[in-house]
Structure 1
Amino acid sequence: MSDNTHGGPADAGPIDVLVVGLGFGSAFAPIYQAHPAVGRVGLVDSNAERLAAVGADLSIADLFTDLDAALAEPGWDAVHLLTPVALHAEQVQQILASGRHCASAVPMATSLDDLDRLIAAQQRSGKNYMMMETARYSREFFHARRLLRDGTLGRLSYFRGEHLQNLDGFPPYWLGFPPMHYVTHALSPALALSRSRVESVRCLGSSRLTPDHIGVAGDGFGTEAGLFRLRSVDPDIGDDLVANITLSFFQLGRSYMEGFSVYGTEGALEWPQLEGGPMKEFRAGAVPAGGRGRAIEDGDIRPAGEPDLLPIELRRFADGGHGGSHPHLVHEFVSSIVQGRSPRVDARVAATWTAPGICAHTSALQGGQEIAVPDYDADLATVADDADPAGGGGR
């Protein structure tokens, strides 16, 4: 493609993408290789052995052990960052300042000051920033969106989200990680479906960290449970909404669970109790004659997702992990560059979804005090939408 100073639609040819961090990035590199609008794919990882192995497996010749060296090379239109959380804020700023578009794994950052810095960096650069939130592009989210749009849910009433994951034995930088700093997987579906932001949060910590679990973040909790007050830009969807979110990373003897449940006046959709199981769908009927309470039908559902939103070349990846979200994330990021528009989860939306967790952890440390969440003036009207497919799934 052209040099890395372009700012408008990428009409000069395919875009070249660097994938940084192969612990998770190895799942994304082949999707970029398959995307019809992507040219070269390069890999960056500080682990030279892993870098060489993934490069050989995918027949990728452009390999770098250092992000600085990769960004010093000419070309490379976009970078997908999948490095440890503590590095996100500085590396995103570095990438944007180099004149490249940047996609980043969640969370956007772990402090409100860094969220402000990243928004400012994106504005200065004129390049795209996208937070690659898997929950927003999962088959489960797509199914919930269908139920909302066809009236099955009625008006939205309430949300619940959980992310329970034992981090014992994970790399040292995860030690004592504040659970709510990783809130986006459990909270973003509620915010996207309701087209809302969080006004305030009250959060309590449970199970004070034992000395062997305390990390660089200092004293904290193994589990944090928050009540998030939402404000929607579309009151026809629902009003006075609350999301009840629980996250746990330490000191909880429970198997992995990461998901959301959505409740409406006419129906509901619940995440399975066990990972990999079916979701449960509920539909409310009338109050039976002489009875009390509305009749409720329930059934198991395994959502199929929406592969038709993808180019044909990417549909084979739609059965993958994180609810089949990976090809949708790649396609949205690439499409936003090609079309010269902001991605759905741009810097302001990402901050809107990330800040509530930062404020929730602050609330937990203050014994549940209500904390106001900043308003980042994000465009929430279309955050749950996807452009209609055209040309065999391209956008």
Structure 2
Amino acid sequence: MTDLRIGVIGLGLRGNLAAVAHRPGHGSRVTAVAELDPVLRQEGARRFDAKPYADHREMLGDIDAVLLLTPDDTHADLACEILRAGVPAFVEKPLDITLDRCDQILRTARDSGTRLYVGHNMRHMPVVRLMREIIQRGDIGAVKSVWVRHFVGHGGDFYFKDWHAQRSRVTGLLLQKAAHDLDVVHWLAGGYTRRVQAFGDLMVYGPLPRRAPGTAKPDDWFAPAANWPPLSQTGLNPEVDVEDVSVMNMVLDNGVIGAYQQCHFTPDYWRNYTVIGDAGRLENFGNGPGGAVKVWNARRSGYREDADAVHEIPAADGGHGGADPRILAEFFRFVRHGGPTETSPVAARMSVAAGIQATASLRNGGAPMEVPELDPGLVTYFESGQAAQRP
């Protein structure tokens, strides 16, 4: 099997996916890197023995697929250029930061007939797949409610020291960070959010010391031992105007009721899901090996730690609990052969839509907001597997 020639656009925090994609002799090889930062660009070229480009458009004729790993607010413009050039695109989540821009990407993919894939890698995480298997097996009956608590223990480092801290670049962290979990809620519950209501605030990081405009993050920007407690953080982004704590309620189109809570100044970093059905409930304790998903479904009782079933979370190699190599393997298979995928451009758009409307709600006193539906023609195109491919 000839290696796919992979072009990478953006070598920032998610640029580590390029290393996962680079498997010479095993199906994929990074042959081109495009990055505005000349230092990162040359480092990437040396690391992968790839051709460096300052202008991504110059490489599109010499590659088989693109990994688009740039900041969220750049996705639509870049993705549409890639798709119009006929190059299959992996777009890192979230799809973009406005609904108009998300829908523009989907329309361009359909109109060009070029394959589009969105990097919602949590659908490939063992803990999420285990919860979905339990639900699909019927162990808790029909899903009626999903609750998520997201403890973002390194939030001050990862989300308040660069562009993630700016509304103009991300809309809000109920979109940027929560898009993963909103997609999982939809996947586990079997529906999409139609109505949201949320509250949130910038409670801790707002008054903390910030860098001067135009200055780079310090080399020790991620130092968990030194940056605790959260009020000791320094060197924050010059502009900080996103919320560091938020709570969101949602009603799905199938009647399921959900809740999502996100906090960026907790001491621990993990996600806790509770899924309640009409015949039991499940809850995960930990997100990886050593953790478990517990199920209570045999009888009523008071509090009891001894669940009726305990399912250990499987071990898997690779970043994000083994999700990164698996999502890229699926993307490369999709590039070569098409067919169904676990991820979905429609689902990616709907997670953005829920996050945008929840952000609007929390910035308008918690007013309930309706989530706009997607053009039915686009839904049909993507749910049919993007079958109308360009020759």
Shorter-chain TM range is 0.7 to 0.9
Report the aligned-residue RMSD.
3.4
Q: Alignment partner of 1:33: what SS? A: coil
SS at the partner of 2:246?
A: strand
The 1-side partners of 2:272 and 2:88 are apart by 29
Displacement of 1:85 after TM fit?
A: 1.8
Q: What residue identity is the alignment partner of 2:50? A: A
Aligned to 1:244, which of 253, 259, 273? 259
Change (3 A) 1:94 1:247: farther
Question: 1:329 and 1:241, CA in 2 relative to 1: closer, same or farther beyond 3 A?
Answer: same
Structure-2 change in CA distance of 1:186 and 1:262 (3 Å): same
Counterpart position of 1:29: 19
Cα distance in structure 1, aligned partners of 2:344 and 2:181 = 18
- Aligned match of 1:140: 127
Of the candidates 313, 325, 347, which is equivalent to residue 303 of structure 1? 313
Deviation at 1:332, TM superposition (A): 1.8
Partner of 1:196, secondary structure, is coil
Equivalent position to 1:222, from 244, 269, 288: 244
Whether the 8 Å contact between 2:247 and 2:261 is mirrored in structure 1 is yes
Any idea what SS the aligned residue of 2:285 has? coil
Instruction: Kindly provide the CA deviation profile for residues 227-263 of structure 1, in whole angstroms up to 9, marking residues without a partner as x.
Output: 111124xxxxxxx2112111234xx343322453323
Query: Aligned partners of 2:343 and 2:68: how far apart in 1?
Result: 15
Larger deviation, residues 255-264 vs 293-302:
293-302
Q: Gaps spanning 5+ residues in structure 1: where? A: 1-11, 233-239, 306-317, 386-395
1:280 and 1:298 in contact (8 A); partners too: no
**2-side partners of 1:163 and 1:84: how far apart?**
22
> Are the structure 2 counterparts of residues 189 and 34 from structure 1 closer, same or farther at C-alpha, using a change threshold of 3 Å?
farther
- Most deviating of 174-183 and 339-348: 339-348
**Cα distance, 1:161 vs structure 2:** 2.0
The residue that corresponds to 2:97 in the other structure is: 110
Residues 1:13 and 1:133: Cα distance change in structure 2 (over 3 Å): same
1:200, CA displacement in angstroms?
Answer: 0.8
Q: Aligned equivalents of 2:75 and 2:302: distance in 1?
A: 53
Q: 2:53 aligns with which of 50, 60, 64?
A: 64
Which stretch of the first structure deviates more once superposed, 220-229 or 332-341?
332-341
Query: Separation in 1 of the partners of 2:336 and 2:320?
Result: 25
Q: Secondary structure at the match of 1:360?
A: helix
* Partner residue, 2:324: 326
- Taking structure 1 as reference, are residues 176 and 279 closer, same or farther at Cα in structure 2, changes over 3 Å only? farther
Instruction: Pick the aligned partner of 1:189 from 176, 184, 188.
Output: 184
Q: Does 1:198 align with 2:196?
A: no
Report if aligned partners of 1:161, 1:187 keep a CA contact under 8 Å in 2: no
Q: Is the 8 A contact 2:173 2:242 kept in 1?
A: no
Aligned-partner Cα distance in 2 for 1:97–1:328: 27
Taking structure 1 as reference, are residues 259 and 117 closer, same or farther at Cα in structure 2, changes over 3 Å only?
A: farther
Cα shift at 1:87:
1.7
AA of the residue aligned to 1:145: R
What is the alpha-carbon distance in structure 1 between the residues aligned to residue 286 and residue 129 of structure 2? 19
One-letter amino acid matched to 1:179: L
When residues 119 and 172 of structure 1 are mapped into structure 2, their CA distance, relative to the original with a 3 A threshold, is same
Q: CA deviation at 1:128?
A: 1.4
Distance in 2, Cα, partners of 1:379 & 1:198? 15
Q: Does 1:128 pair with 2:115?
A: yes
TM-score (norm 2): 0.76
Label 1:136 to 1:292 Cα distance change in 2 as closer, same or farther (>3 A).
closer
Distance 1:331 1:295, change over 3 A: closer
Taking the aligned partners of 2:149 and 2:51, their CA distance within structure 1 comes to 39
CA shift at 1:32, angstroms?
4.5
Aligned-pair CA distance for 1:24: 2.2
Distance verdict in 2 for CA 1:91–1:259, change over 3 Å = farther
Q: Which residue of 2 aligns with 1:3?
A: none
CA contact (8 A) 2:84 2:114 kept: no
Per-residue CA distance 1:309-335 (angstroms, 9 max, x = gap): xxxxxxxxx412212111221122122
Q: Percent identity?
A: 20
1:179 aligns with 2:201: no
Determine the C-alpha separation between the residues in 1 that align with 2:107 and 2:379: 16
Per-residue CA deviations over 1:249-296 (Å, capped at 9, x if unaligned) read 4xx343322453323334433233688751341232135xxx889996
Rounded Cα–Cα distance in structure 2 between residues aligned with 1:363 and 1:150: 36
Q: Distance in 2 between matches of 1:69 and 1:55?
A: 15
2:192 alignment partner, SS class: strand
**Residues 229, 322 of structure 1: CA spacing in aligned structure 2 closer, same or farther, 3 A cutoff?**
same
Contact conserved, 2:18 with 2:30, CA < 8 A, in 1? Answer: no
Q: Distance in 1 between matches of 2:351 and 2:78?
A: 20
Q: Which shows bigger deviation, 332-341 or 23-32?
A: 23-32
Q: CA deviation at 1:349?
A: 2.4
1:256 pairs with 263, 269, 287, which one?
Answer: 269
Contact kept? 1:159, 1:190, Cα under 8 Å: yes
Confirm or deny: 8 A CA contact 1:269 1:279 kept in the other structure: no
